[in-house]
Amino acid sequence: MRKVLILAPRLDCSFKEGPVPAVEGSPNHPLRTNYLPFYEHLLRRHEELGDSVTFEKKALWQFDPSDYKRSEYDIVYVPHKQKYQFDLGNKGRYYMQQVIPSIFSIDKEGWGADLSIKPTRCKDNGAFDILKQRIISNKSKFDQPDYKEDFKEKDYVFFPCQLPHDETIKYHSDTSVYNALLQTLEWAKRKNIKVWVKGHPANPASMIDLRTLTLQYDNAEWTTSMSIHQLIENSLFVALVNSGVGIEALLHGKIVAAYGRADYTTDNPNVFSVKDSSTLSDIKDYIYLKRMNHRCEKESFKEFIQGWYNHYFDVTDSKTFSKII
C-alpha cells in the first residue's frame, strides 16, 4: 500500500498571494468547479489500487516544498507547479487544468511544454469529434458572445492575446505577447493581410498596451465582443505565443503559428514554430498550396487531438484515470 498526498488549493480565493477567508466558501469561478470531480476520480483510482489517500488544503501560495520533500508519502500531487519550482524528487506528480476545463494533466516533471512525455499522434478513436462538439456549441474556457451573422471576412490572421505575465509565457516562451503581436502585425502589413486581435477577457487592464499597438495598424482590428470560435473559423491561420487556444484552433482544422512552446507544438505537422516573419510566409504559402492541390489533411488533425486527449485526464470520463498505476 502506498501513501498518497493530494495538495488541494483553496478554490474560494486567489491562487496568487493574498487574503484567505477564515471560513472556506464555494469556488470563486465556475472553471474551478472541475477540480472537485478531479479529486474524486483521483481518490477513487488510488483506492482501487489499494493506496491510502490524504488531502491537504491550503491557499495555493501557502504550499511549500520543504514541508513535503522528506515526508512519509510515496506520491504527492502538486497543483500549478513544475518540478523545478516544487522539487519533491521522484514522489512529485504535478497537475494542471487545461484550456478545456474538464481536462487535467498529471506529470512527473510539470505541465505544458515541461511535460516529461509530450502528447504524440495516434490513431483517431473519436476524441476529435467529441471535443469538436464544444466548438459547435460555441463553448470555450470563457463564455463567448454569439456569432455575428453579418461577419463575412475571411482569410485574415487571428491573434488571441494571452495575459502578458501568465506563467505559460514566463516559463515557456522566449518572446513576449507584445513582441509576438508586433511581429505578426508587421508581417501582415507587408503582405497586405488583415489581422483580427482578441483581448483576453480575464484582465482587461493588462490588454491596454496590446490594444494600443493593434490600433496603430490600418490592417488590424481589435475586439473583445466576438466569439473566439467565429474568429478562428474564418481565419487563414492562427498566430499566438503558446495559448491553449492552439488546441481549439486545431479542433477547427486550422494551422497554428506558435511563437512559444506548448504541449501541442511537438510532433504536430499542423503547428509551425515561429522564429521570424519568414515562417509566417511559409505558413501562408503552405495553406494556399494545400487549397490549390485540394489536399485534405483532416486526419493529421484528428490523430494529434486523439494523442493529446489520451495523454490527459478528463473528469467526464472515469476511464481516463485508469492510466494512473
Q: What is the pLDDT of residues 5-32, one digit of tens each?
A: 999 999 999 999 999 999 999 999 999 9
Question: Residue 294: its pLDDT value, please?
Answer: 46
pLDDT band at 295 (very low <50, low <70, confident <90, very high): very low
The answer for residues whose C-beta is within 8 angstroms of residue 78's C-beta and 6 or more apart is 7, 63, 86, 88, 92, 93, 94, 95
Structural domains in the chain, CATH included, are 3-97 (no CATH), 127-309 (3.40.50.2000)
pTM: 0.94
Nine-digit cell string for 142: 470563457
d(CA 174, CA 154): 31
- What integer is the mean pLDDT of 254-276? 93
CB neighbours (10 Å) of residue 263? 25
Q: What is the pLDDT of residues 95-131, one digit of tens each?
A: 999 999 999 999 999 999 999 999 999 999 999 999 9
Question: Residue 291: its pLDDT value, please?
Answer: 66
The answer for residues whose C-beta is within 8 angstroms of residue 59's C-beta and 6 or more apart is 9, 10, 13, 14, 15, 17, 18, 20
Nine-digit cell string for 240: 499566438
Contact (Cβ atoms closer than 8 angstroms) between residue 258 and residue 273: yes
Place of cell 474538464: 102
Contact (Cβ atoms closer than 8 angstroms) between residue 220 and residue 194: yes
